[in-house]
Structure 1
Amino acid sequence: MEKYYVLERFALMKTAVISTLDSMMLKRKGIDKNQKNNNIKNARKLYKELESARKRLSDNILNLKLLFCEADMKECGIYADKLYTAVSNFNLLTPDYTKFIGAFKPLLDNIPDNEVTNASVIGRLMNNVRTGYYPTDIEHVKHIKNGIAFPEGKRINAFDPCCGCGVALNVLTSGKISDTYGIEIDEMRGAEAETRLDRVGLGSFFYSRISREVFHLIFLNPPYLSVIKDGGGRSRSEKQFLVDSLHHLMYGGLLVYIIPYYRMTSDICRILCDNFEDIQVFKFLDSEFSKFKQIAVMGIKKHKGDGSDAVEKLVQLASDVDNLPLITDLKTEHYVLPEQEKNVDLFKGAVFNLGELKRQLAMSKSMDFLFERSSLDSREKRPLLPLNVGQVGLIGGSGLINGYIDCENPHILKGRIIKEIKKSDNGDTISETHVNKMVFNVLTPQGFKSLA
C-alpha cells in the first residue's frame, strides 16, 4: 500500500501545532500564578519557554504553508502566511489566549486527513508525483552556466548524482575543460548518458562508491518523490540526495540544487545554511515554473558550522515565490569554481557497468602488463657453455626447439617425452621401473625419422 509523504507530514504538523498551543496556554497561566506568588524567577523561566514555544509554532506554520503549496491548496497557504506574521507579532503576555488559539481553527480544519482525504487533493498529489523524473530545461541550464566562472586552463570535475540522460551536465560544462561524472538508476537513461558524459555509474547513488571532496561542481536535480511504500523510509529523496552529495563536493566548490520551492523546508534549509555560504535562490521562468514549481538554489561549500540563525530567513525567502528573483537575474560569473585540480580515484556505480569497465581497463596499464611478452621470450637464446647430451634431450623433449630448423640440412623437429616401463628379472622377483623416454620426430627432405 502506498502513502503520500505530504499527508503524513500534514498529520505530524497538525499534532505539533495543537500540542504547542496547549503548552503555550499552560505556560501563560503558569506565569500569572508565579507572579501572584511573587516567584519572579520561575515566571521569567516560563516566559523564556513561552518564547521558544512560539518559535516552534512559527516553524510549524511555515512548514504547513509549504505542504499546502505542495497539495496545491493556495488559499490555505496564503492563510498560513498571514498567520505566521500574526504569531510573530503576538504579545505573549496577553491575558486571554482564546482569540489567538481560535485563529488556528480554520487552518487546522483544512489540513487533509491521512486516512480519509478529499479525492481532489489525492488527484493533485498524483499529478505532482508522476515518476519523480523531471529533467532540467536546457535554457535554464544555460542561464545557470552563465553565472559560473570556470578556471582558465584548469580541469574541473563536475558531478550529477542523478544524471538522467546526461544532457544537463553536458550542456553545463560544454566548451570547458572538465571531466563529467554521473550516476543513473535507470539503465536505458544511463546508456544514453554514457554517450555524453566521461564516466557514468549505474544503479542507486546511495550504494555507489565515490571519492570524497573531489568535485568542483555538483548539479543536483533529485527525483521529486512523495510516495512512501510499506517498509520504506520516512525521508524525502531530495533531502537524502543533498545530505549524501555534499560529502563529494570540495570546499569552495559550487552546489546547484534544483527542487520545487515547496520542498525548501526548515530541515533542508538547515543543511544548506550549515554547510554553504553565498546561498542564492532563483525562480525558474514562468513557462517552466508553472509545470514543476522549480527553483535553483546555489551556494559555495564551507566548513560545517551553525547556520540556525539563517534558516528561518531562507525558508521565508524560498516560499515567497512572487518576490523571488528569476534565474535570468543571476549575475554573470558570480560563482567562481576552485582552481585546484583533483583526481577522482574512486567512482563505481552500484550496478556492474560494462561500459565503465572498458573505460577503467583502457586507463589501466595492468592489462598491457599481463599480456606483455617478456624480452627473454623474444630474443635469440644461446647457452653460455655447450650443452651435454642430457640437456639437449631435456630441451628437445620440453618442446622449446620444436619447429623448422634452418641449417645446412634443414628439417622440422618435434620433441616429446613418453612414459616407458622397463622390467627386470633377477630370478626370484620381477621388478618394473617407470622411466621417461625422449622421442624426436624429424621430418627431412629425405623422409621421416624417429629418434629415441
Structure 2
Amino acid sequence: MKGIDDESADRKEWTELYRNTKYLKEQGLIMYVIPSYRYSDKRIARFLATHFYNVGMMRFSDDDYDDFRQCIFIGNKKTGKHKEFNQKLFDFLIQMESDEFVMENVTPVDRFVAANKKWSVPSGVEKLRTFYTKLANKSDFVEGIRNSKGFQAFKNRSKPRQLEIGGNPILPLNVGQLALLLASGAVNGEIGEGDNYHLVQGLELVKKIPNEEKKVHDNGSVTTITKIRTRREVSVKVITPQGKILKLV
C-alpha cells in the first residue's frame, strides 16, 4: 500500500503506528490491530515497549483467529521525553512470530472482556480557545495582485515556451544533443521550403548491452559477473521532395 505523501509502496503497520502516536495525547489510549506476526518486527516491538504502559495484548477469538490471525494491543501513552524501556514486553512481542506462542500465551479477546479489564481515557480540552476573523471582499485585492511583481513572474513562468531552432551549429551535434532535440520534438515534422522541403522523424533507440567479467579466486573457483549497460542511439528518417526515404543512424 502506498500513502499520499509516500515515495514507495510498503507495509503500513510501522508507518501508521509512528504517525498516529505523534497525535495521541499523553496518557491517551491506543488500540493497535495488526497481524500477530508483525508484532515481532523489532521496530514495532521496541516502539511499543518504549512509548506505552498499562498494556494488554489479546488475539481474536478462537472462532475468528484462524481466518484473520490478528492481535489487539491496548495501552496508554507514556508522558515526558525520557521513557523507560520495557524489556519484558519487548521479549514477549518478539516471540509472537510463532503461531504456537500466540495460541498458548495470548488471551482471546472474548475472555479478556469477560475478565472486566478496563483502561482509562483522559479527558480532552474542556475550554476551547476563542479566535476572531472577518470576511473581506475579494475585489479589494484583485488590482493589487494583478500589479504585483510576484504575480507577473508567476505568469511568465507559466507560459508555454515555443522551441525555436535556426542557423547551423558551429560543431557537429553529438548523440546527447540529438537526444535532447528528440525529446523536445525538434526532429519531428516539416523542415525547409520549396526544393529543400523535407519530412523528418526522429527516434531514440535504446539497447541493452550485456558484458561478462570473470574473476578467478585463489582457490581456483571462478565467479562470473554480468553487467548490463544501456546504449542510446539516434535514428532519423527523412523524406525528400522527390519521395526518397533516407534513414540516418
* More helix, by proportion: 1
User: Normalising by the residue count of structure 1, what TM-score does the alignment of the two structures yield?
Assistant: 0.25
Q: What is the TM-score of this pair, normalised by structure 2?
A: 0.43
More strand by share: 2
Greater Rg by CA: 1
